[in-house]
Amino acid sequence: AQSVAQPEDQVKVAEGNPLTVKCTYSVSGNPYLFWYVQYPNRGLQFLLKYITGDNLVKGSYGFEAEFNKSQTSFHLKKPSALVSDSALYFCAVRVDHGSGNTGKLIFGQGTTLQVKP
């Protein structure tokens, strides 16, 4: 079965320090991986995705993620955290349904990032 795991419920970092939010996946076939962020009382915002190609993916707001096939991981990173990065982060894998480029997202359980001033 396809699944995504985020092993940390919460990550705390000081502003200006690098941050990492971990994600591992289990899929059959090629993994299509996504990171979304959810601010309080808001919807999910897309950050970045890995489909194929370069293992280091750059996304919105200075975030990047590293795809590691051997470790089946897709960790989210940022070189210098901001207080405004504090939010709930979700890793997801897309599972296609039939043909025609339709599918669903299977989400990890989410990781709360807290950036302290």
Partner 1 sequence: DTAVSQTPKYLVTQMGNDKSIKCEQNLGHDTMYWYKQDSKKFLKIMFSYNNKELIINETVPNRFSPKSPDKAHLNLHINSLELGDSAVYFCASSPRRPGITEAFFGQGTRLTVV
Of 15 and 22, which has the nearer Cβ to partner 1?
22
Residue 25 binding partner 1, by CB under 8 A: no
CA atoms within 13 A on the CB side of 28: 3
Residue 69 binding partner 1, by CB under 8 A: no
- Identify the H or E element spanning 12: strand 10-14
Rounded CA-CA distance 117/115 in Å is: 7
Residue type, 84: S
Rule CB under 8 A: choose which of 17, 45, 68, 84 binds partner 1: 45
Of 15 and 86, which has the nearer Cβ to partner 1?
86
Rule CB under 8 A: choose which of 8, 20, 24, 49 binds partner 1: 49
Rounded CA-CA distance 110/85 in Å is: 15
Q: Considering the complex, what minimum distance in angstroms separates the CB of residue 60 from partner 1? A: 11
